[in-house]
Amino acid sequence: MARLRIFEELPRADRLPRSYSKAMKAVGVVDATSAAIFELIMSMDGTRFEWDCSFQYGNLVEEVDGHTAVLYQRLQLEWCSRIVWPRDLCYVRYWRHNDDGSYVVLFQSREHPNCGPQPGFVRAHMESGGFKISPLKPRNTRPRTQVQHLMQIDLRGWFVGYFPSFQQHCLLHMLSSVAGIRELFSQTDEIHTAPRIPIMVSMTSDSVSSEKEQKTQEISIQPGVSLDQVFTDNTHPLILDEDSDEEEDNHILDAEEEVCVLFVPIYMYGTRFLLPCFPKNIEDMDVETSDSFDTSCFSGNLRRDDDENSRDCWRLSDGNNFKVRSENFFKDKSKIPAGKYVMEIVAVDWLKNATRMDNVARRSGCAAQVASEKGLFSFVINLQIPGSTHYSLVFYYVKKQLEPGSLLQRFVDGDDEFRNSRFKLIPSVTKGSWIVRQSVGSTPCLLGKAVDCTYVRGEKYLEIDVDIGSSAVANGVLGLVFGVLTSLVVDMAFLIQAVSPDELPERLIGAVRIAHAELSSAVVADLGDNPLEE
């Protein structure tokens, strides 16, 4: 019998206090195309119970756009139903289709004025959840797809506190949908689904007070940013490279997602759930740089700490963690580990102000000014995060001198059109909730085509001011990230995209890992223009 793996999240000290329950994930392989599985998962009609034994009834509350909808669902949990009230959900569903052929469908609870509490039901809260549907290499000409289903839910009610097994039983009951999908496709090659669901017209409930109807679930440090804004883009998530070069080989498990532990084998609904243990340790390696100099004279207000368990700090991220275009990329689309960096990161500043902070490299005593005094060249990246208080995360990369005729030199001295078409970011959330990691993704993206970038060319530096607030989609996703910032470890690599064979292989300007940053540790930027009072 084919095996279904169930993962349970390890309890960790850096989990947010508001976390409702452990996350659990089911992973299985289905003999069907990713598109067919996606259509099946998106359906909410009366045939869904054929593969989803936790589904009783579902309806559409609001269609936000082609990729985002608010849904209502009643759960069929079948656990002491005579004494336990049934549960229902109101949640936002977002989907996207990646360039590698995979689909991501994300769920998160939210309140809606037309979907108030229902008589006789307890409103459960889904903190995060969803499906990742990834195509695999065919076997015997038959399509194969890996299906991951994650759920983190608080079923609420007095019964949960008295009987912890109720929560785990119901989670396993919901995750068994992966086995249901596999069983359904094993019986027939043709699955007909209804991609649309009827509009809910009678969900406005008198039991919801006007105060509760007006309340929205904030997921951003910026007031007014909702999950609708997080997922507004009607084509791709956040910011994608238009010449996206995702890996064509899809593996059974993504290394970055192995943050879970599996416990003991169990049997449920005739399916064997295999639960081995997959611990994961991420170790940074020393990174070679193209040239060396004394870095002890540079400092930023965010401290460097190479201890893997340290918080509110930055450290080097191994360049081999990122894949870039190889020398033969334009022939075979191959990619290679990035290896050593072109420049060396010497400092990180974590700043705040009442207004957006532009050209932070002009500040006296900052790492860029110190480098200039020593005859060194600085590449400054200023990620600007909007809100009632504006934040800037500033990275300082330094090199002895630019190599004449190099791609980096042409970028530094080029015009803004050239820069916007080449400046690339590779993001990765190495520690964080599944929904945040799926929202951010790890697809290379051209920042200059997704958000407004301002380039400030000084005598010995180039600063790039990246205005995240210029894109509703990027701002929303960043808001989701900043809402749980202290629980995240984020890697970012920056490079100039190669577009011709003579510019290959690609080289990283540099990469950095930000670990569990605290908003309270940001310092007021002294730019001489009415800084925020402490």
Give residue-wise pLDDT tens across range 428-479.
888 877 667 776 767 788 888 888 999 999 999 999 999 987 865 555 555 5
Say if CB 51 and CB 26 are below 8 A apart: no
CA atoms of 494 and 383, how far apart (whole Å): 12
Task: Write down the pLDDT at residue 292.
Answer: 73
Task: Write down the pLDDT at residue 496.
Answer: 97
Q: Tell me: the pLDDT tens digits for 278-287?
A: 333 333 344 4
List of residues 6+ apart from 528 with CB closer than 8 A: none
pTM of the model: 0.63
Task: Write down the pLDDT at residue 285.
Answer: 40
Task: Write down the pLDDT at residue 366.
Answer: 95
Task: Write down the pLDDT at residue 27.
Answer: 92
Q: Tell me: the pLDDT tens digits for 258-276?
A: 333 333 333 333 433 333 3
Task: Write down the pLDDT at residue 294.
Answer: 86
pLDDT band per the 50, 70, 90 thresholds, residue 199? low
- Token reading at 70: 């608010």
Task: Write down the pLDDT at residue 128.
Answer: 79
Q: Tell me: the pLDDT tens digits for 374-402?
A: 999 999 999 998 888 999 999 999 999 99
The pLDDT of 318-346, averaged and rounded, is 93
The pLDDT of 490-497, averaged and rounded, is 94
pLDDT band per the 50, 70, 90 thresholds, residue 3? low
Integer-rounded Cα radius of gyration of the chain = 25
The pLDDT of 489-518, averaged and rounded, is 94
Flag whether pLDDT at 80 surpasses 70.
no
The pLDDT of 146-160, averaged and rounded, is 82
The pLDDT of 8-16, averaged and rounded, is 53
Say if CB 521 and CB 351 are below 8 A apart: no
Say if CB 300 and CB 367 are below 8 A apart: yes
Q: Which of 76, 105, 72, 63 is nearest to 90 (CA)?
A: 72
Where do we find the tokens 């609001």?
Answer: 62
Q: Which one has a higher pLDDT value, 369 or 13?
A: 369
- The DSSP secondary structure of 251-317, one letter per residue, reads -SS-GGG--EE----EEETTEEEE--------------BSS----TT---SBPB---TT--SEEE--
